[in-house]
Amino acid sequence: MLIIEKLFVHLSLTRDVLDKQLAKPEKQSQLPQLALVALAAFLAIVLVLACVYRFESSDPYVKSVLSLTGDPVQGHAIFQMNCAGCHGVEAHGRVGPSLDSISQRKSRISLIHQVTSGETPPMPQFQPTPQEMADLLKYLETL
């Protein structure tokens, strides 16, 4: 709830600034107004992402996974048993999307959440042990 409250306070302050700008004579350029809107949107997004990251990185499972050193060979075996059916043997995609360069597009926390949540059907929820998840992450970093 604190995150939402901070976001509303920030947006309220931004609106006050914009209202003051809009009350000024039309002679002034619209550029400062647009810059303020863009800055407010950017800050709101950063605030939300920072809060989500903080929340997710406080999860005991995530902390445990991130504290371990993964083995890419073991991760490849886990991938072949659990993921290759949808993502393809070489992870180039089939039913599921290609995972080429996935570790450059998604954070380790985001990948853990993706694998364990089951929030993006048809991907099933998968509950590897922390070591298995660390191994899988290490393998995904090789793609």
How remote is the C-alpha of 40 from its chain's centroid?
Answer: 20
Kindly compute the dihedral angle of the four CA atoms of residues 59, 64, 65, 69, in this order, to the nearest 10 degrees. 150
Long-range contacts of 52-61 (CB under 8 A, 24+ apart): 53/107, 53/109, 56/109, 56/113, 57/109, 61/112, 61/116, 61/130
Q: Give yes or no: residues 124 and 70 share one domain.
A: yes
Domain termination residue (choose one: 58, 74, 96):
58
Question: Cβ(105)–Cβ(98) under 8 Å?
Answer: no
Residue 86 is predicted with a pLDDT of 93
In this structure, the answer to whether residues 136 and 71 fall within a common structural domain is: yes
What's 116's domain CATH number?
1.10.760.10
Co-location of 34 and 76 in the same domain: no
pLDDT score for 103: 92
pLDDT score of 31: 64
Please report, in tens digits, the pLDDT of each residue of the chain (143 residues total). 455 555 555 555 555 555 665 566 555 566 677 667 777 777 667 666 655 555 556 789 999 999 999 999 999 999 999 999 999 999 999 899 999 999 999 999 999 999 999 888 888 888 999 999 999 999 999 99
Domain identity same for 92 and 124: yes
99 and 43 co-located in one domain: no
State the angle between helix axes of 31-57 and 108-117 in degrees (0 to 180), rounded to the nearest 10.
60
Q: Are residues 66 and 47 in the same domain?
A: no
Residues 48 and 99 in one domain: no
In total, how many domains does the chain have? 2
Q: Are 97 and 87 in contact (CB under 8 A)?
A: yes
Question: How far, in Å, are 36, 73, 138 from residue 28 at the CA level?
Answer: 14, 63, 54
If asked whether residues 37 and 54 sit together in one domain, one would say yes
Cα(61)–Cα(83) distance, rounded to whole angstroms? 20
Residue that finishes a domain, picked among 34, 58, 82: 58
Specify the pTM: 0.62
| Same structural domain, 70 and 136 | yes
Residue 123 shares a structural domain with residue 69: yes
- Say what the pLDDT of residue 131 is: 98
- What confidence score (pLDDT) does residue 64 get? 95
Whole domain around residue 90: which residue ranges? 61-140
Q: What is the pLDDT of residue 84?
A: 95
Sign of CA dihedral 24, 28, 29, 31: negative
